[in-house]
Chains A and B, each alone.
Chain A
């Protein structure tokens, strides 16, 4: 088949604009989160003291951190879906890093040293560690599935970004259940769960996202 003939086949297939990949990814993520939301209400549910909790800065900061992370991670994922990915896609995460480090610093300054350990270990880490990944499974599957329609410059990196978005989706939901609001707890256990999902995403990406 000559290349001019292939061109004819491509023209005949039509070019009528499909949805931009960023919007497709957003829809996929929303669908994944919706599914996780169902899982969340079936298994964990919102903590019973949600109203007073909303009035504490630690709880609010935890939610803000998770949501900010989710928004920034989605930007990274959308960038990584393109063949002409920006040179430093992870730069978008800088504000998240700054927020986490400052929150930890403030907590360390406010809480006496003797209580650090108890804050860090909290009461829920053994639930947090498996539940954040469990709540991120549906978003991960949905985003990876949509990324197969994309053309990522680096399949592994795009997969890792999908894992990051998914983990932060799971973390956002889980944050509404968990009683441990200390930045020390959040920075430790949520991050561990996130790293695990990023690794899963990278491995899946290498296999699934080549084009």
Chain B
């Protein structure tokens, strides 16, 4: 992946309803985020153990706050701003208050190489905070790869209700990270 600036086109496609483009976009963003976050943690003197939590929190923000990206602007600065906010927020909750200049290294070409090797790390704590039904829906869709309509049939719900529950679950996950204290 070259850099976050090439992703504007994918996001535009995604907004027109192209799921595959959105999957690709989020995949590439998470690789980039992982590298940026690890770099950030390192420069704050912390190991990579927490990196996946921050990556997932930032991904949730990219998804839930996508209305704040203006199509007329490049997407790179927007993604960097989200990464910076989430990284700083995470560190602040753990008592780290120094300034971190992510602009410095978030464009470095070697980031991509470094990140390829660490593809599917488990953040582990993600789902534990959800109520039973929401957790089950998220699991069936994300871990087992079922579609919303399959899940609806299995749980005896309407597809619309499954979608609403999924959306609530994602918002709850974002809130869980935000309120969590170290």
A residues in contact (CB < 8 Å) with B: 1-22, 24, 81-85, 149-151, 153, 210-211
Query: Complex: how many Å from CA A19 to CA B66?
Result: 10
Instruction: Count A-B contacts at CB 8 Å.
Output: 126
In angstroms, Cα B28 to Cα A94, docked, is: 41
Q: Are B123 and A15 in contact, CB atoms less than 8 angstroms apart?
A: no
Report whether A151 and B85 are in contact in the complex, using a CB–CB cutoff of 8 Å: yes
Q: Is the CB of A153 within 8 A of B124?
A: no
A153 near B147 (CB under 8 angstroms)? Answer: no
Q: At the interface, yes or no: B61 with Cβ under 8 Å from chain A? A: yes
Do A151 and B56 touch across chains, with their CB atoms under 8 A apart? Answer: no
CB of B12 to closest CB in A, whole Å:
10
Chain B residue with minimal CB distance to A4? B120
- Residues B81 and A10 in contact, CB atoms below 8 Å apart: no
* 8 Å CB contact of B52 from A3, A18, A21, A24: A3
Chain A positions within 8 Å of B73 at CB level: 84
CB distance from A96 to the nearest CB of B (A): 24
Q: Are B82's CB and A1's CB within 8 A?
A: no
Pick the contact of B55: A3, A13, A153, A210 (CB < 8 A): A3
Residues of A within 8 A of B81 (CB): 82-85, 153
Cα distance A10–B16 in the bound complex, in angstroms: 16
Given contacts A15-B14, A19-B67, A24-B67, contact A9 B141 (CB under 8 A): yes
Q: How far is the CA of A110 from the CA of B48 in the complex (A)?
A: 68
- Contact B59–A20 (Cβ < 8 Å): no
Q: How many interface residues does B have (CB within 8 Å)?
A: 53
Q: Hey, which chain A residues are within 8 Å of B52, CB to CB?
A: 3
Subset of 9 A-B contacts with CB under 8 Å: A2-B121, A9-B142, A11-B23, A13-B170, A15-B22, A19-B67, A84-B73, A151-B82, A153-B85
| 11 additional contacts (CB under 8 A) given A10-B22, A82-B70, A83-B65 | A6-B126, A9-B138, A10-B26, A12-B142, A13-B166, A14-B163, A15-B63, A19-B67, A81-B68, A84-B77, A211-B61
User: How far in angstroms is the closest Cβ of chain A from B78?
Assistant: 5
Residues of B within 8 A of A20 (CB): 67, 70
Of A8, A9, A15, which is within 8 A of B66 by CB? A15
Query: Separation in Å of the A206 CB from the closest CB of chain B?
Result: 13
Residues 64-107 of chain B: 1 if any A CB is under 8 Å from the residue's CB, otherwise 0?
01111010010001101110010001000000000000000000
Question: Residue B110 at the A interface, CB < 8 A?
Answer: no
Bound-state CA distance A82–B78 (Å) is 8
Instruction: Please determine whether B126 and A83 come into contact, CB atoms closer than 8 angstroms.
Output: no
Of the candidates B22, B56, B67, the one whose C-beta lies within 8 Å of that of A6 is: B56
Residues of A within 8 A of B17 (CB): 15-16
At the interface, yes or no: B109 with Cβ under 8 Å from chain A?
A: no
Residues in B whose Cβ lies below 8 Å from that of A82 = 68, 70, 78, 81
Q: Does B127 contact A (CB under 8 A)?
A: yes
Given known A-B contacts A1-B143, A9-B166, A151 and B126 have beta carbons under 8 A apart: no
Contact with A along B121-140 (1 / 0, CB 8 A): 11110110000000000100
Q: Which B residue's beta carbon lies closest to that of A22? A: B70
Question: Chain A contacts of B61 at CB under 8 A?
Answer: 151, 211
Q: Is B30 an interface residue (CB 8 A)?
A: yes
Chain B residues with Cβ under 8 A from A151's Cβ?
61, 65, 68, 82, 85
CB pair A1–B123 under 8 Å, yes or no, is: yes
**A83 and B148 in contact (CB under 8 A), knowing A18-B66, A24-B67?**
no
Contact of B178 among A22, A84, A150, A211 (CB under 8 A): A211
Could you tell me the distance in whole angstroms from the C-beta of B48 to the nearest C-beta in chain A?
14
Does B68 contact A21, Cβ atoms closer than 8 Å?
yes
